[in-house]
């Protein structure tokens, strides 16, 4: 009995400790610090101060006992008081604060200020302004007079107020930020629900396994207790039987001795009187009665002890059964409660999944509608450009630009599909201005950009008798002299981008190697060539941006641009300025910045 109650005590301690651990892991969530502001935008070189508060005790001063850190030191620095100073680079950086084992997070977005476009009315006024007289031939003067008469005949397009455009842009940016935040929140909620579901499933499995193990252990313990009790009872009975047998043997020996004595007495009685014989017989009878009484009392005592042992065993078995049934009832209640919570979580998860699917379907329908509208407007714009209807083409371009700013690409494949859909065959018969994107960022990411757009760098002399293929990598440049022009015509577009200003060292290296270039071959030129798909993309971007800001691509000398890797992983060509043939430089915006 003592061992049994000890085991019950151990099991109660085990269940108590496991309940505390279950509470700590499932219901006792860790605290986190609150950082204000939580999300903020800063210009390069700007600064902002952050403050940290305790979630349960806001009055506690944490400014002296906390540690500030940033995720990427190249984006700026932060001091011990929480003052963040942004660097020159743009991007997003996370601010982390630690107070013992508690931490908090905040996000900082470093963005350059956007340069507003020159109003259309000012551009038109500059065009119509009188120019200084210069000595020109009579033929050029006549051509200019004809152009001025044509301009007078065509009334200028009415300028649109810039305030409405700025408000629309602000609304679009706010709408896009809200959409991105909502999408991020939904994705985070989905991940949390999936994690909770997995944890609950694992917890349910662990509980079922633990329950099975406990039931098996209790059964084993019950069987062991029963076996031990039965063995103890058998041993006790065997001991009692042995004692009874010993007493019987003793009685037999005593009877034998008595018989011997009786024989002796009988012998003596023959010699004694009858009276003495009777007395002896009475004494023998009394002695026999006393022996019989003692034997009966011993048997009754043994039977009472056996009955008492049986009663104790039955009581112990009933107590064990009651404890086992109580434990099973508690386990069943806990399983029912957990199943109810799991059902609630599954219902909530189903609701959120339905909301997400509905949102995705709405977004996909809206995206498809925008794509169809843009494709229709592109075809209409081409037809109006052929018919030289500038007013109608202008309105179509404005609508097309609005839709292009609303388009969103969720992944690399979708981004590439949108580019192909809008830019296919855009290079055919089009006048495309020159491009200048040879900045430090392009040279730094040269291999990635060229491999993504399948560009190739070649050098060729004035005689066009051969060309030098250039393979650029991190170990240097590899050169190969080739004459397979059919391969170039088959796999690449007939357009190219002059690259002498971007890579003057390559020209010097080729000129030094006599097996690649001879001085009598003429002037050596360097160019970037690319396939037809990339040519259509470049033509579509440059022509669309030029016409959106009111400039004919024929009057644009160079488009200043840079390559930017989007969130989807697409290397987009972003046009930032137009250099006109009259020397004027105009800053512009590109719709693909928001993709």
Q: How many domains does the chain have?
A: 3
556-565/434-436 β-pairing: parallel
319-368 pLDDT, tens digit each: 877 888 888 888 888 888 888 888 888 888 788 777 777 766 766 767 77
585-587/51-53 β-pairing: unpaired
Final residue of a domain: which of 360, 375, 401? Answer: 360
Position 517 confidence tier, pLDDT thresholds 50, 70, 90: very high
Higher pLDDT, 349 or 505: 505
Q: Could you tell me if residue 17 is inside a domain? A: yes
Answer yes or no: are the C-beta atoms of 84 and 76 closer than 8 Å: yes
59-110 pLDDT, tens digit each: 666 666 788 888 888 888 888 888 889 888 888 888 888 877 778 888 888 8
**How far apart are the C-alpha atoms of 318 and 324, rounded to whole Å?**
10
CB atoms within 10 A of CB 12: 12
What is the domain range of residue 97? Answer: 31-110
- According to the model, what pLDDT value does residue 468 have? 94
Residues 6 or more apart whose CB falls under 8 angstroms from that of 411 comprise 568
Least confident of 142-151, 153-162, 192-201: 153-162
- According to the model, what pLDDT value does residue 384 have? 62
Q: Could you tell me if residue 262 is inside a domain? A: yes
SS3 category, 102: strand
100-142 pLDDT, tens digit each: 777 888 888 888 766 444 555 544 555 555 444 444 445 555 5
Q: Could you tell me if residue 45 is inside a domain? A: yes
Are 340 and 278 found together in one domain?
yes
Are 310 and 283 found together in one domain?
yes
Q: Could you tell me if residue 47 is inside a domain? A: yes
Q: Could you tell me if residue 4 is inside a domain? A: yes
Structure tokens at 398: 């404005």
**How far apart are the C-alpha atoms of 481 and 138, rounded to whole Å?**
50
Position 554 confidence tier, pLDDT thresholds 50, 70, 90: very high
- pLDDT higher than threshold 60 for residue 150: no
SS3 category, 276: helix
- According to the model, what pLDDT value does residue 458 have? 94
Q: Could you tell me if residue 39 is inside a domain? A: yes
- pLDDT higher than threshold 70 for residue 40: yes
- According to the model, what pLDDT value does residue 558 have? 95
Full 3-state SS string of 499-536: CCCCCHHHHHHHHHCCCCCCHHHCCCEEEEECCHHHHH
Are 7 and 90 found together in one domain?
no
- According to the model, what pLDDT value does residue 473 have? 66
**How far apart are the C-alpha atoms of 467 and 543, rounded to whole Å?**
30
What is the separation of C-alpha 501 from the centre of its chain, rounded to a whole number of angstroms? 43
- According to the model, what pLDDT value does residue 176 have? 80
Position 390 confidence tier, pLDDT thresholds 50, 70, 90: low
The answer for 501, left when phi > 0, alpha when psi is -120 to 50, beta otherwise, is: alpha
- According to the model, what pLDDT value does residue 116 have? 47
Q: Could you tell me if residue 378 is inside a domain? A: no
Answer yes or no: are the C-beta atoms of 309 and 229 closer than 8 Å: no
Structure tokens at 315: 């009581």
Q: Is the peptide bond before 249 cis (omega within 30 degrees of 0)?
A: no
Residue for token pair 């006599």: 514
Are 14 and 96 found together in one domain?
no
Q: How much is the average pLDDT of 253-275?
A: 76
Least confident of 48-52, 489-493, 535-539: 48-52
Q: How much is the average pLDDT of 14-29?
A: 61
Q: Could you tell me if residue 135 is inside a domain? A: no
Position 20 confidence tier, pLDDT thresholds 50, 70, 90: low
Are 8 and 99 found together in one domain?
no
- Cβ density class 283-322: b for 16+ within 10 Å, e for less: eeeeeeeeeeeeeeeeeeeeeeeeeeeeeebeeeeeebee
415-470 pLDDT, tens digit each: 898 888 888 887 787 889 999 998 888 989 998 999 999 999 999 999 999 999 99
Are 231 and 356 found together in one domain?
yes
Are 10 and 104 found together in one domain?
no
Residue for token pair 């009858």: 274
467-473/67-70 β-pairing: unpaired
**How far apart are the C-alpha atoms of 278 and 283, rounded to whole Å?**
9
Are 351 and 229 found together in one domain?
yes
Are 4 and 74 found together in one domain?
no
Final residue of a domain: which of 48, 77, 110? Answer: 110
Final residue of a domain: which of 53, 78, 110? Answer: 110
**How far apart are the C-alpha atoms of 287 and 255, rounded to whole Å?**
11
Q: How much is the average pLDDT of 192-202?
A: 82
Per the prediction, the chain carries an average pLDDT of 80
% of the chain beyond a pLDDT of 90: 19
Are 272 and 228 found together in one domain?
yes
Are 238 and 325 found together in one domain?
yes
User: Residue 38 belongs to a domain with what CATH number?
Assistant: 2.60.40.1080
Are 227 and 105 found together in one domain?
no
- According to the model, what pLDDT value does residue 163 have? 64
SS3 category, 288: helix
């Amino acid at each position: 009995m003592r061992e049994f109650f000890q085991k019950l005590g151990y099991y109660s301690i085990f269940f108590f400790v496991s309940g505390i651990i279950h509470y700590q892991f499932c219901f006792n969530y860790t605290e986190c610090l609150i950082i204000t502001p939580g999300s903020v935008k800063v210009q390069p070189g700007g600064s902002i101060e952050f403050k940290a508060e305790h979630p349960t005790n806001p009055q506690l001063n944490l400014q002296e006992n906390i540690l500030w850190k940033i995720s990427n030191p190249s984006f700026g620095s932060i001091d011990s008081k929480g003052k963040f100073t942004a660097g020159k680079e743009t991007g997003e950086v996370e601010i982390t604060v630690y107070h013992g084992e508690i931490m908090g997070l905040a996000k900082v977005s470093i963005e350059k200020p956007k340069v507003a476009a020159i109003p259309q009315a000012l551009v038109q006024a500059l065009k119509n302004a009188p120019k200084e007289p210069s000595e020109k031939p009579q033929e050029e003067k006549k051509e200019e007079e004809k152009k001025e008469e044509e301009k007078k005949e065509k009334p200028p397009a009415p300028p649109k107020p810039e305030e409405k455009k700025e408000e629309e842009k602000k609304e679009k940016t706010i709408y896009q930020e809200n959409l991105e935040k909502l999408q991020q929140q939904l994705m985070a909620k989905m991940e949390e629900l999936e994690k909770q579901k997995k944890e609950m499933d694992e917890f349910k499995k662990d509980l079922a396994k633990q329950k099975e193990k406990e039931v098996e252990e209790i059964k084993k313990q019950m069987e062991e207790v029963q076996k031990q009790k039965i063995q103890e009872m058998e041993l006790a009975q065997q001991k009692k039987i042995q004692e009874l047998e010993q007493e019987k043997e003793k009685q037999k020996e005593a009877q034998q001795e008595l018989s011997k004595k009786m024989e002796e007495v009988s012998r003596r009685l023959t010699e004694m009187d009858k009276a003495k014989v009777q007395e002896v017989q009475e004494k023998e009878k009394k002695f026999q009665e006393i022996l019989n009484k003692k034997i009966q009392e011993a048997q009754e005592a043994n039977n009472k002890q056996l009955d008492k042992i049986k009663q104790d065993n039955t009581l112990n078995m009933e107590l064990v059964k009651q404890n086992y049934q109580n434990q099973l009832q508690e386990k069943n209640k806990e399983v029912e409660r957990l199943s109810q919570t799991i059902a609630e979580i599954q219902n909530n998860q189903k609701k959120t999944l339905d909301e997400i699917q509905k949102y995705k379907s709405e977004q996909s329908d809206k995206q498809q509608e925008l794509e169809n509208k843009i494709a229709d407007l592109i075809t209409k714009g081409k037809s109006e450009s052929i018919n030289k209807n500038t007013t109608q083409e202008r309105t179509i371009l404005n609508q097309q630009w609005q839709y292009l700013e609303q388009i969103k690409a969720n992944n690399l494949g979708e981004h590439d599909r949108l580019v192909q859909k809008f830019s296919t065959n855009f290079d055919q018969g089009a006048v495309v201005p020159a491009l200048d994107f040879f900045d430090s960022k392009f040279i730094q990411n040269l291999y990635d950009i060229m491999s993504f757009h399948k560009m190739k760098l070649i050098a060729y002399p004035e005689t066009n008798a051969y060309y030098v293929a250039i393979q650029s990598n991190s170990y240097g440049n590899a050169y190969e002299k080739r004459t397979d022009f059919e391969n170039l015509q088959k796999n690449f577009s007939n357009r190219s981008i002059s690259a002498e200003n971007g890579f003057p060292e390559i020209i010097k290296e080729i000129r030094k190697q006599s097996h690649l270039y001879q001085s009598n071959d003429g002037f050596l030129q360097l160019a970037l060539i690319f396939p037809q798909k990339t040519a259509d993309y470049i033509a579509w971007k440059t022509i669309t941006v030029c016409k959106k800001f009111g400039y004919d691509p024929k009057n644009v000398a160079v488009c200043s641009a840079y390559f930017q890797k989007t969130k989807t992983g697409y290397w987009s060509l972003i046009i930032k300025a137009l250099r006109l043939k009259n020397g004027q430089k105009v800053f512009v915006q590109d719709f693909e910045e928001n993709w």
